């Protein structure tokens, strides 16, 4: 139901009784999410400029078979499925891209294309229900990214810090907050419980649930800022690795 309290006018795609500029909401999603998808795809298949010194692009982490012993294509392709499945099945992104790319519906109380509707009960959209498992996978990937951020503090075995270190560190922090704000994680912590005091470990679960709820209420924000940060972290490593810019050492 639209915030304006009107329902979709009977009719086809785009028909509505709304008088506001409802389409403004989907334009940034088309541009930013579409642009990110394009950039990430090109970078994943590029297969070079993904590391420099102690820095490793998050698009290539964990780095597998970088010397092409048994995999002749870009190593990013081997690991792409993990982060991609997490983002693609995210409850927030689902809403965003169903509206922006499938126009299904384009916005609240706005007519959608006429077609039979099966929701997420049939292939391929039934796979969206695997989001909880994608979360488990994302946590494993996060562990590798934390390891990369830690590694980014060591230049030829000596402790130090460059701009790239900060870029990778901020990125993994934002990705961690995005993951912690996940609806599935909140559900696991306690969202599915009717009574905390009756449950095993009820008190710590209640505390965890409250903390995760605080983050979950801002999930959309973390979804976007972490998308920017992961794209920027890769872009920065690419610039330094290709020689387009020089990394600045802070100490």
Contact set with ligand FES (CB under 6 A):
90-92, 131, 135, 182-184, 219
Q: Which of 35, 90, 80, 32 is nearest to 58 (CA)?
A: 80
Nearer to ligand FES by C-beta: 91 or 101?
91
What is the distance between the alpha carbons of residues 228 and 12, in angstroms, rounded to a whole number? 35
Closer residue to ligand FES in complex, CB, 149/215: 215
Query: What DSSP string runs through 210-240?
Result: HHHHHHHTTHHHHHHHHHHHHHHHHHHHHHH
C-beta of 165 vs 226, nearer to ligand FES: 226
Q: How far is the CB of 218 from ligand FES (least distance, A)?
A: 12
The distance of closest approach from Cβ of residue 135 to ligand FES in the complex, given in angstroms and rounded to an integer, is 6
Q: What is the largest CA-CA distance in the chain?
A: 68
- Output phi, psi for 244, to 5 deg: -65, -35
Q: How far is the CB of 69 from ligand FES (least distance, A)?
A: 34
| Residue 216 vs 241, nearer CB to ligand FES | 216
CB of 173 to ligand FES, least distance (A): 16
Closer residue to ligand FES (CB): 163 or 208: 208
Q: How far is the CB of 220 from ligand FES (least distance, A)?
A: 9
Let me know: does 199 contact 193? Beta carbons within 8 Å. Answer: yes
Closest to ligand FES by CB, 22 vs 93, is 93
Question: Pick from 179, 201, 175, 180: which is nearest to 190 by CA?
Answer: 201
**Nearest CB to ligand FES, comparing residues 184 and 229:** 184
Q: How far is the CB of 229 from ligand FES (least distance, A)?
A: 15
CB of 81 to ligand FES, least distance (A): 16
What is the rounded distance in angstroms from the CA atom of residue 190 to the CA atom of residue 69?
45
Angstrom distances, CA of residue 125 to CA of 3, 121, 128, 187: 27, 7, 5, 21
CB-based burial label for 188 (10 Å; 0-12, 13-18, 19+): middle
């Amino acid at each position: 139901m639209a915030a304006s309290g009107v329902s979709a006018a009977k009719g086809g795609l785009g028909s509505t009784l709304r008088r506001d500029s409802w389409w403004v909401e989907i334009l940034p999603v088309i541009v930013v999410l579409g642009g990110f998808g394009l950039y990430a795809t090109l970078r994943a298949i590029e297969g070079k400029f993904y590391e420099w010194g102690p820095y490793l692009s998050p698009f290539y982490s964990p780095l597998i078979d970088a010397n092409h012993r048994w995999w002749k294509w870009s190593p990013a392709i081997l690991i792409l499925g993990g982060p991609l499945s997490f983002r693609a099945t995210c409850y927030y992104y689902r809403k965003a891209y169903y509206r922006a790319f499938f126009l299904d519906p384009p916005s609240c109380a706005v007519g959608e294309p006429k077609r039979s509707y099966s929701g997420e009960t049939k292939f391929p959209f039934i796979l969206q229900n695997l989001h909880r498992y994608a979360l488990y996978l994302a946590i494993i990937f996060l562990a590798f990214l934390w390891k990369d951020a830690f590694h980014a503090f060591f230049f030829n075995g000596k402790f130090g810090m460059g701009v790239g270190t900060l870029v990778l560190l901020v990125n993994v922090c934002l990705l961690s907050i995005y993951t912690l704000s996940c609806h599935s994680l909140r559900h696991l912590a306690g969202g599915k419980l009717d009574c905390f005091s009756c449950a095993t470990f009820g008190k710590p679960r209640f505390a965890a649930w409250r903390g995760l709820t605080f983050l979950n209420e801002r999930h959309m924000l973390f979804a976007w800022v972490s998308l920017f940060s992961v794209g920027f972290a890769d872009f920065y490593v690419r610039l330094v690795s290709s020689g387009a810019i020089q990394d600045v050492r802070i100490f």
